[in-house]
Amino acid sequence: MALSSIGKAFSPNPRIEKDELMDYLHWVKQALGLIFGIIVGSAKYTGFPVIVIFAIALSAVSLFYAWKIIGTEEIEAWDIVSEAFGPGFFSFILAWILGYTFL
């Protein structure tokens, strides 16, 4: 994603195409996974509730991003939640383990 796209990713644009929104969601979820994983790992939290809280938070933030920040409502909620959930979850798990181990 180019630097010019970063400004566009956070500006309200109801005419954004679905593919472009999904690209933005992919990178937003990656960043959230890394940030949340480092925070949770450095706080030494463990267990399944952390994973559930992350999944709920990631879904809520991605819906908020798509509907409130970008301003699109024509894309189904399941598409927004499921897009790039796996890579975001992997980033979270990796950052959580590394944060717990080294911080």
pLDDT tens, position by position, 12-60 = 765 677 788 788 888 889 999 999 999 999 999 999 999 999 999 999 9
Domain that holds residue 74: 17-102
Decide if 42 contacts 102 (C-beta within 8 A). no
> pTM value?
0.83
Query: Does residue 21 lie within any of the structural domains?
Result: yes
Distance, in Å, from the CA atom of 69 to the CA atom of 14, rounded to the nearest integer, reads 10
Query: Does residue 51 lie within any of the structural domains?
Result: yes
End-to-end Cα, the chain, rounded Å: 30
Fill in the amino acid letter for 1.
Answer: M
Provide the number of structural domains found in the chain. Answer: 1
